[in-house]
Amino acid sequence: MSRLIEMRWPDHGRPACPPPLSQGELQARLGALRDRMEEDGLGALAVYGDREHAANLHWTTGFDPRFEEALLIVTPAEAHLLVGNECLPYAGLSPLVQAGAVRLHHVPSLSLPSQPRDGGLRIGEAVALALPAGAALGVAGWKWLEQEEGGGHAVPDFLLAPLRERAGAVRDATRLFMDPATGLRATVGAAEIARMEFANAMAARALRRLLGALREGITDFEAVEAAGIGGLPLSCHVTLATGSRAWQGLSSPSGEILRRGVPLSVNIAHWGANLCRAGWVAGDEDDLPEAARDTLETFVLPYAAAMSEWCALMRPGVTGGEVWARMRTLLPDDPFGVTLNPGHLIGLDEWLSSPIAPDSAVPLRSGMAVQMDVIPTHPVHGSTRLEDGYVIADEGLRAELDRDRPDLSARIRARSVLMRDTLGFALPETLLPLSDTGGLLAPFLLRHERVVALD
């Protein structure tokens, strides 16, 4: 019978610093991008980025805007990066800029308000320099809108207008990067897996420190301070919701006091990782409101069993529709209330897209970095959460990791053994846990070392 067991949260070793994006890796990405442009009949591609929406631009160049907007214009023969005042020196970190494969242009209008606008090029001038007149142009923003939503481009009009004026036909090309079936970013290779494992490991250490610091009477600020969150960029704000904000899961610390018998949720999301847990500020069932004292049996344990089956489905060839249907069967609206996709792809952006949707024929593929992001919510039982990052890997990708990154493979094997043999998860060989927190579900957060073990 599934139960709670006492165990220290494991530490399978700290990964070495992540491998930097190399010129060769980025040249290959730029080449793949140009191949796809040719297949799609595009004479040019404009890739937008800003502080909140940097993933497509960073994937292509290794550069992410700070403070400002930026625009990359790629043609079959050239690539031009338009940046503002403060990004002008920072963009030099891109190996493609260093190699001259991407030409850098100062466009002061991309700078923050009230900063100097002298020197450099006006937006229209830069677009005219980079974009051939009349070219068939694809525009990649940070999401696409379906036709029933009205279509359109997720790019500011002050950039879209001069692009339209210069180009011939203009169409949205965001799917070229982000589509779960065909997007260039929908799968990752060995180097990217190493970077994502580093991010997940950093977030896991912070989460473990935070949970270990939870005490009745401290503030949510004190709890987050105890996490010691590392220096990697965040893909979303750190959240901690409890007290009067317990039902507003996206809330950040605000001064709430931790009290027994109140729900709590927390997440830490670096680029390539988002670890989240939800439960009760409690030591056991007796600390819960009377109506919620059956939460473990009726809510938490069935959820954990469903997440074990979710793991079992993470194999190349399984369709997203199969995963959706099985999760809806195991986690019905009453009592679980799951509203979003039960799992999605993750990258530098916390939610890239998802192959998991109703009737989706999109198959899971080797190299997909997937987030176990299945969010139940109930007015009495609150929430419970096992949100961690994984990579789906066929035999070839696993062999590559064994050969080229044996330390990483050893940590993954140790995590997998713990999830299968100690926690009872039906983890297939094809699903690689990226963090030491995989499978660790503590419903009573004041005793976070009491975790669920499945039969």
d(CA 443, CA 383): 9
d(CA 280, CA 276): 14
DSSP of 373-438: -----BTTTB----B-EEEE--HHHHHHHHHH-HHHHHHHHHHHHIIIIIT-----TTEEE-STTT
pLDDT in tens, 343-369: 999 999 999 999 999 999 999 999 999
> What one-character DSSP code corresponds to residue 351?
-
Mean of the per-residue pLDDT values of the chain = 97
pTM of the model: 0.96
pLDDT in tens, 291-300: 999 999 999 9
Q: Is 317 helix (H, G, I), strand (E, B) or coil?
A: coil
pLDDT value, residue 150: 85
pLDDT value, residue 1: 63
pLDDT value, residue 147: 85
Which tokens belong to 149?
A: 């939503």
The CA–CA distances, whole Å, from 66 to 49, 56, 112 equal 10, 15, 11
| Interval 130-139 mean pLDDT | 98
pLDDT value, residue 335: 96
| Interval 192-211 mean pLDDT | 97
pLDDT in tens, 205-235: 999 999 999 999 999 999 999 999 999 999 9
Asked if residues 36 and 176 have their Cβ atoms less than 8 Å apart, the reply is yes
pLDDT value, residue 350: 95
pLDDT value, residue 132: 97
pLDDT value, residue 249: 84
| Interval 111-140 mean pLDDT | 97
State the pLDDT confidence band at 334, using cuts at 50, 70 and 90: very high
List the domains of the chain with CATH numbers. Answer: 41-172 (3.40.350.10), 186-453 (3.90.230.10)
| Interval 157-167 mean pLDDT | 97
| Interval 330-337 mean pLDDT | 97
Which tokens belong to 193?
A: 């897996």
pLDDT value, residue 301: 98
429 C-beta neighbours (distance < 10 Å), count: 12
pLDDT value, residue 151: 85
159: pLDDT strictly greater than 90: yes
Tell me what percent of the residues of the chain surpass a pLDDT of 90: 96
Peptide bond into 335 cis (omega under 30): yes
pLDDT value, residue 101: 97
Torsion of CA 270, 21, 186, 193, to 10 degrees: -70
pLDDT in tens, 415-455: 999 999 999 999 999 999 999 999 999 999 999 999 999 99
> What one-character DSSP code corresponds to residue 98?
H
List the single range of 136-150, 185-199, 315-329, 425-439 with lowest mean pLDDT. Answer: 136-150
d(CA 380, CA 335): 9
242 C-beta neighbours (distance < 10 Å), count: 26
Which tokens belong to 281?
A: 């500020």
For the CA atoms of the chain, what is the radius of gyration?
23
Name 440's Cβ contacts closer than 8 Å, sequence gap at least 6: 9, 386, 423, 451
244 C-beta neighbours (distance < 10 Å), count: 11
pLDDT in tens, 241-289: 999 999 888 899 999 999 999 999 999 999 999 999 999 999 999 999 9
